[in-house]
Chains A and B, each alone.
Chain A
Amino acid sequence: MKLVSVENLSVRYGGNTILQRVDLDIEKGEIVTIVGPNGSGKTSLLKAIIGAVEPAKGCVTLKPGLKIGYVPQRLNFNPTLPITVERFMRLTAKADTRSCIAALETAGVPKVLKEQMSGLSGGQFQRVLLAGALLGRPEILLLDEATQGLDQPGSAAFYRQIEAVRRETGCAIMMISHDLHVVMSASDRVICLNGHVCCAGTPAVVASAPEYKALFGDGTDGALALYRHDHDHNHDHNHDHNLKTHETAE
């Protein structure tokens, strides 16, 4: 059963074409990851799915009555806004305290219900956003670079949580990520985007595709190695992209 069906989608901002001729289906219960360089239209695709941007061409069809859980990249959160975790969660979903606690448990942060949002660590914060999205019992979760600001072990732990959520609730997951190395291990399907769909398939297929290598360079061998290994540790390759910052941090 298709939850989301994107057909021949084009998106324009001003005079610029951000996305063109994108076709994409998301089935019940699968984990789909969108990867692509900056400006490749990943976020625009997500925005088109939730109806935040109008397609210039093509269409987005959602299963009637589809319940979407959206995990934003970050909140436009500033310390002048006092709000507890519970109040935040109940903003977007009608729920009682018990369901809030249950959702927090599923998201891996069972004890923060009465905390102020501004007092949470980066990892806790993202998990609370996840819990907030889970509270509405979604059939599909959409995550927009949900691990920005987390270090690599933190991201890996977050994505394992996502896999656990899928196991427990059976909801489909579509996520956007920069963390190629970490995210791909959890995915059923990877879609590599650069204004259009460059290549798509299982993580192994995409990682060895020439289009993917052209976009992300030769470091992809390392990505695949990492994908096959436990993602909590790191290898000493010579990557030509963002893994470097992590290696120096160690």
Chain B
Amino acid sequence: MLDDFMMRAALAGIGVALAAAPLGCFVVWRRMAYFGDATAHAAILGIALSLAMEISIFAGALSVSLLMAWTVTQLSARGYAIDTLLGVLAHSTLAVGLVVVSFLSGIRIDLMAYLFGDILAVSHADLAIIWGGAALVIALISWRWSPLLITTLNEELAHASGLNPNREKLILTLSLGITVAVAIKVVGVLLIAAMLIIPTAAARNLARTPEAMAVMGAVIGIISAVAGLKAAYVFDTPAGPSIVCVASTFFAIFTTIGSVWRKPS
């Protein structure tokens, strides 16, 4: 079954959708959309460095993403204007990454595969990494779900309840780094934030509890991944962007339904 490339692609997409949903909820609630974007863009630098040093691309992307997420968390805690900071770091790392890639004369690299994903080329090993990473992210976030929610609502409330908000935020930073690293193959660095935000934002219109939003976000993400792949196959379109297009369609439909629904009350 795993020998079919379409089956492997679908499983890879489902793995990413599962990890992205619970993490994406916090990205949306904590208004971290640009934070996710910046972390993902930084991954291209990690890819370039790992190609130059001939180490695993997953390891390179993961370490640079984590470093980026950690740096932004530290600097923003010291009161730097966060949107400027993210703009500077996201685009600098992306640009430096692209420049580094151009120096790698010996290797022929399909840059598009890293920018927009190459889900149809997912190998058995890739699949193991994606599902391993997804399982880790889901485990981390489910374990700290309530503390993370309290920290999101109010950090002093978290302190008063005996929690350490910085430790909880570290969990999010770690999860974000892992998700970025495993999602590169599926949607590419430019569209990872889309997988985090769009399915959960679509789910917001239907959910009445935080948990429901995460579960519905996962379902929407999975349907988007499978339907997007199918569409890419039928219409011969790029797979990663097609997945995001399906998710965006869900968002548009549910937001319209949601606003009509709420109007009478």
**CB-based nearest A residue for B79:** A14
CB of A92 within 8 A of chain B? Answer: yes
Cross-interface CB contact of A87 among B155, B204, B210, cutoff 8 Å: B210
Write the nearest CB–CB distance from B161 to chain A, whole angstroms. 5
Is residue A38 contacting chain B, with contact meaning CB distance below 8 A? Answer: no
**Mask: chain B, 157-172; 1 = CB below 8 Å from A; 0 = not:** 1011100000000000
Is the CB of B212 closer than 8 A to any CB of chain A? yes
B161 nearest in chain A by CB position: A92
**Is B201 interfacial (CB-CB < 8 Å)?**
yes
CB contacts (< 8 Å) of B95 on chain A: these are none
Are A75's CB and B154's CB within 8 A? yes
- The number of chain A residues with a CB under 8 A from chain B is 26
Q: Are B156 and A144 neighbours in the complex by a CB distance under 8 Å? A: yes
Closest to B28 in A: A80
* Interface residue? A249 (CB, 8 A): no
Which residue in chain B gives the minimum CB-CB distance to A68?
B160
* B153 in contact (CB, < 8 A): yes
Checking A47, A69, A81, A82 against B156 with a beta-carbon cut-off of 8 angstroms, the contacting residue is A47
Flag whether B105 is at the interface (Cβ < 8 A).
no
B159, A84: Cβ atoms under 8 Å? no
Q: A91-B146, A91-B150, A92-B150 are in contact. Are A82 and B212 (CB under 8 A)?
A: yes
Q: Which residues of B contact A88 (CB under 8 A)?
A: 153
A89 to chain B, nearest CB (A): 12
Most A-side CB within 10 Å, residue of B149, B156, B210: B156
> Does B208 belong to the interface (CB within 8 Å)?
yes
Determine if A81 and B160 form an interchain contact, defined as CB atoms under 8 angstroms apart: no
Closest to A119 in B: B265
- Contacts of A84 on B, CB cut-off 8 Å? 208-209
Interface flags, A26-61, vs B, CB<8A=1, else 0: 000000000000000000001100111000000000
Q: CB distance A80 to B156 under 8 Å?
A: no
Q: How far does the Cβ of B231 sit from chain A's closest Cβ, in whole Å?
A: 28
Q: How far is the CB of A241 from chain B (nearest CB, A)?
A: 26
Q: Is A70's CB under 8 angstroms from B157's CB? A: yes
Q: Is B63 an interface residue (CB 8 A)?
A: no
CB pair A142 B160 closer than 8 Å = yes
Is residue B80 contacting chain A, with contact meaning CB distance below 8 A?
no
6 contacts between A and B (CB under 8 A): A52-B156, A72-B156, A75-B154, A75-B157, A82-B210, A92-B161
B interface residues (Cβ-Cβ under 8 A, vs A) = 28-31, 146, 149-150, 152-157, 159-161, 201, 204, 207-210, 212-213
Extra A-B contacts (18), CB below 8 Å, given A52-B155, A72-B154: A47-B159, A50-B160, A52-B156, A70-B161, A72-B157, A80-B201, A81-B210, A82-B207, A82-B208, A82-B212, A83-B209, A84-B208, A88-B153, A91-B146, A91-B149, A91-B150, A92-B157, A92-B161
